[in-house]
Structure 1
Amino acid sequence: MSTTAKLLYFMGPSGAGKDSLLDWLRQHLPAGLPVQWARRTISRPASPGGEAHESTTPDAHAALRAAGAFALHWEANGLAYGVRHAELATLAQGRWLLVNGSRAYLPEALARYPALVAVHITASPEVLRHRLQSRGRENADEVEQRVQRALRFLAPPGTAGIEVRNDTSLDAAGRQLLQALERLPGWPGLVNAPAG
């Protein structure tokens, strides 16, 4: 991969609000900025208002993976995810690419794209625990296991990274993320965070 190409790899534990923060970022990046979002292929149906992903069945996804269709691929929460090679083509043009990824897959992603910048969206244990309990999908033991996994996460040594704490409001976390992006070498222009 070209040393001028930049891959931003977003990841975070359940309850950190990663998807909400990425939606916020999509709405606040200036139009015309030379960045692109990688479209994911996911083994689940599309849903109104959800992520605009390529939907596959689990069998079809496995066949695509076996055929080498994906530049990146992982499994999480019972679903299979992939990013097709064509989605990564923008890196060869020196443009920035934003990928919604997985913590567990980070070492493999780094092996394939060593210059990536890992963006870790997280929150305090108390906030994670409260959010997970509020959504009511897991029992108390399962919630605590998720919180402890979040606390144990460490990026591989030497990984270029950003950490964003989404503990309070989405706007506050979004402004924190935008400011961190502005400090990245080669980021295309300053981003104006909304007032507030």
Structure 2
Amino acid sequence: MRLIAVVGPSGAGKDTLMALACATDPAIRAARRVITRPADAGGEDFEGVSEEIFAARVAAGDFALHWRAHGLGYGIPAAELAGDGTVLFNASRAVLVQAADLVPGLRVVVVTAPAAVLAARLADRAREDTADQAARLARAEFALPEGLDVVTVCNDASPAEGLTRFMAALQPERV
């Protein structure tokens, strides 16, 4: 099995590219996250839980990785990181050092887009109010921990072009 962390600013299209990659290649799958957000909030396929259930699952050791961001709890169940093929997981940059310790040779794919594209996508999805969208945009530029295997994908074109770039970034050997 090969694990790949996918990170990037809100609105960059991480979930879209991950879903397209999984639909394109049956050897690729995405780990389903647990999030303290209502299950009908839209976006990626995730398990929505209450803060209480999330805390209980953290205490029980259910998650290989967990973190807090944007006022929410996020967890990757350990069972989601098992099996054959390539497993993509949508992660926070704050958990990358822990993920690299857990997964030697971890590849990190940073999906990004220009600020105007990010702003338009956040507005279109209408999941947050304008203040929350502005806060997410302010965090769009971020530093990654040193020493990771990182490749960046600019997702500023069509979904097909974004997928081509993303699939190239997943390759063990890249030019």
Task: Name the TM tier (shorter chain).
Answer: 0.7 to 0.9
State the one-letter code of the partner of 1:146. R
Equivalent residue for 1:57? 50
Shift of 1:171: 1.4
Shift of 1:16: 0.9
TM-score, scaled relative to structure 2:
0.82
TM-score, scaled relative to structure 1:
0.74
Given the superposition, is the C-alpha separation of residues 68 and 48 from structure 1 closer, same or farther in structure 2, using an over 3 Å criterion?
Answer: closer
Shift of 1:112: 2.5
1:14-39 CA-to-partner distances (Å, cap 9, x unmatched) read: 1212122222222222x3x2x43222
Return the match for 1:87 from 49, 57, 80.
80
Q: Is the 8 A contact 2:9 2:111 kept in 1?
A: yes
Shift of 1:109: 1.7
In 1, Cα distance between the equivalents of 2:51 and 2:138? 29
1:40 correspondence with 2:33: yes
In 2, Cα distance between the equivalents of 1:146 and 1:87? 27
Higher Cα radius of gyration:
1
Shift of 1:7: 1.0
1:71-122 CA-to-partner distances (Å, cap 9, x unmatched) read: 11112223212122222232xx6x4221121222222222322321111110
1:176 correspondence with 2:165: yes
In 2, Cα distance between the equivalents of 1:87 and 1:130? 32
Unaligned segments of structure 1, at least 5 residues: 188-196
In 2, Cα distance between the equivalents of 1:18 and 1:51? 9
Given the superposition, is the C-alpha separation of residues 132 and 27 from structure 1 closer, same or farther in structure 2, using an over 3 Å criterion?
Answer: same
Q: How many residues align?
A: 173
Equivalent residue for 1:22? 18
1:92-111 counterparts in 2 under 5 A? 95-111=85-101
Shift of 1:145: 4.3
Equivalent residue for 1:126? 116
Identity of aligned residues (%): 40
In 1, Cα distance between the equivalents of 2:136 and 2:71? 15
Given the superposition, is the C-alpha separation of residues 51 and 132 from structure 1 closer, same or farther in structure 2, using an over 3 Å criterion?
Answer: closer
1:112-148 CA-to-partner distances (Å, cap 9, x unmatched) read: 2232111111011232234335556343x65554334
1:30-88 CA-to-partner distances (Å, cap 9, x unmatched) read: x3x2x432222222333397544333221011011012111111122232121222222
1:73 correspondence with 2:66: yes
> What is the alpha-carbon root mean square deviation over aligned residues?
2.6
Given the superposition, is the C-alpha separation of residues 49 and 156 from structure 1 closer, same or farther in structure 2, using an over 3 Å criterion?
Answer: closer
Unaligned segments of structure 2, at least 5 residues: none
Equivalent residue for 1:165? 154
